[in-house]
Amino acid sequence: MATQFVDRVTLHIAAGAGGNGCASVRREKFKPLGGPDGANGGHGGSIILEVSAQTTTLLEYHHGPHRRAQNGGIGKGDLRHGADGEDLILPVPDGTVVKTPDGEVLADLIGEGTRFVAARGGRGGLGNAALATPKRKAPGFALLGEPGEARDLVLEIKTVADVALIGFPSAGKSSLIAALSAARPKIADYPFTTLVPNLGVVQAGDVRYTVADVPGLIPGASEGKGLGLEFLRHVERCAALVHVIDCATYEPGRDPVGDLETIEAELAAYAVEIGRDGTAGTSDLLPLDQRPTLVALNKVDVPDGKDLAEIVRPDLEAKGYRVFEVSAASREGLRPLSFAMAELVQAERDRRAQAEANKPRVVLRPVAVDDTGFRVVKELTGEGEVFRILGEKPERWVRQTDFSNDEAVGYLADRLERLGVEEALFNAGAVPGSAVVIGPGDGVVFDWDPTMVGGAELLGGRGSDLRLEEGHRPTRKERKEAFHERMDAKAATREEFEQERLAERRAREAAGGRGAGRAGQEDRS
């Protein structure tokens, strides 16, 4: 069974999440608090697209569009770090263009081994051993791992060739590429025999180049009629175009000049994609209607075809075309055509080399040393003013925070304060009780209180840990005195409770006697 050719797919990918850090304390004999030993979580695996010469179609991703990388392992005690998730490498054909669902070009993968990181894995969370400082000796929390990046991508194959053979269906393009090279495409006597581009390598003198047999075009191809958009996409990278015109067609209403004008109109109407940098095309090529062009009048081995070629050749040359009379069956005129194509290819290669040499230098603009890396935006909503904090660091710290742990929340508050978030909120007009959101969308919402105790203070002041403060071992006398003090306090408490119960009972009895006296007076009256 022949392999199905798929040149456009939508891929749903999700990188691996980072493993959570571990909060652990070393416990040894005679040393119950031996210090933190919680290890870090492993990083999540990334998803990488790599050009492979062994891959010629996107069929595998057509049947399995959902791909997920391995998650990072969680950290453990005794400083056992979590394992990093393995990267998922997806092989793609040479000439694959990676785009967003909105059409933005992200990468143009040309050349075997070219890689593109499609989705980055999440960072692993730090364990409490990595969070320990001389002032915070045994943190009782660890950071969570970050989720991996998830996104949808559109992969498209654009044939990588130097020359494209274009024309109406059954014009003889497949026969021509078979005669010029060692390629053996499917050849039959009905339209649209070729459904996928075929590549062949041609040697003309010292120039070696590739020729693509692009499936037949019809009027309206630039608007998507037939398989026009799919076919024209494979012409974008070619340096030169060769119009293959059938001079022996029996279809009424068709002639070589009319066929050429129709195809030229479709090429002019096709919009070459604009890359991220604003240049025309993903490979810095000219628009299709401005490419170097040759005209091959095919099937001149047929008597009627030879006569028609001699009639229309002067008209085509008058329009500025270089015209060649060829026959794929008898191989007539193939050598001059091959050398003419080699000239165009070499000229285009020289042009690209010159453009590469004259490329402007890349200017690196590093981030300023005083750049805080975040910004505070004041928003007006139906519930009042909201102050939104946007920035890579605050958003990442929020994702790594375990909000069920008060000490972890206090650590987040410390980090935000050191970053200058509180001062920025004051400058933006925030007051205690103002609604603050960290991150885009819903984010993490809280009522801002600059004097809020973060939870780490439950263990003492920030930067200290009462659990590890050294103290002397009490003597027998001190333990005995402390025991008697506790017993005396318990006795005093019991005596106090007994006096309260006795007072309550006497009050109830007195209230009952007064009620009985009032009832007797009413009876006597």
Closest CA to 288 of 337, 210, 229: 229
Q: Is the dihedral of CA 345, 280, 159, 172 positive or negative?
A: negative
DSSP string covering 360-425, please? PPPPP-PPPTT--SEEEEEEEETTEEEEEEEEHHHHHHHHT--TT-HHHHHHHHHHHHHHTHHHHH
Within 223-336, strands assigned E span 240-246, 293-298, 322-325
Please state the residue numbers annotated as binding site for GTP.
167-174, 192-196, 213-216, 298-301, 327-329
Q: How far is CA 484 from CA 340, 476, 488, in A?
A: 111, 12, 6
Cα angle, residue 88 at apex, residues 82 and 89 outer, rounded to 5° = 145
CA–CA dist 81, 318 (Å, integer): 76
Element (H, E) at 480: helix 476-524
Q: Is 498 helix (H, G, I), strand (E, B) or coil?
A: helix
Find the Cα–Cα–Cα–Cα dihedral 28, 30, 33, 38, rounded to 10°: -10
d(C-alpha 251, C-alpha 190), whole Å? 12
Structure tokens that stand for 333 in this block: 């005129």
Q: State the Cα–Cα distance between residues 402 and 125, nearest whole angstrom.
A: 11
Which residues lie closer than 8 Å to 205 by C-beta, 6 or more apart? 339, 342
Q: Which residues contact 457 (CB under 8 A, 6 or more apart)?
A: 410
Q: Which positions make up the binding site for Mg(2+)? A: 174, 194
Task: Find the angle CA(329)-CA(212)-CA(204) to the nearest 5 degrees.
Answer: 70
Cα–Cα distances in Å, from 442 out to 270, 389, 402? 42, 12, 18
Check residue 289 and report its DSSP letter: G
Measure the N-to-C terminal CA separation of the chain; round to a whole number of Å. Answer: 119
Count of alpha carbons within 13 angstroms of residue 23, beta-carbon side: 13
Nearest to 233 by CA among 153, 155, 158: 158
Is residue 222 helix, strand or coil? helix
CA 10/CA 154 separation, integer angstroms: 4
Annotated binding residues, as ranges?
167-174, 192-196, 213-216, 298-301, 327-329
**Kind and range of the H or E run holding 49:** strand 47-51
The set of residues, in sequence order, having a beta carbon less than 8 Å from that of 423 and lying 6+ positions away, is none
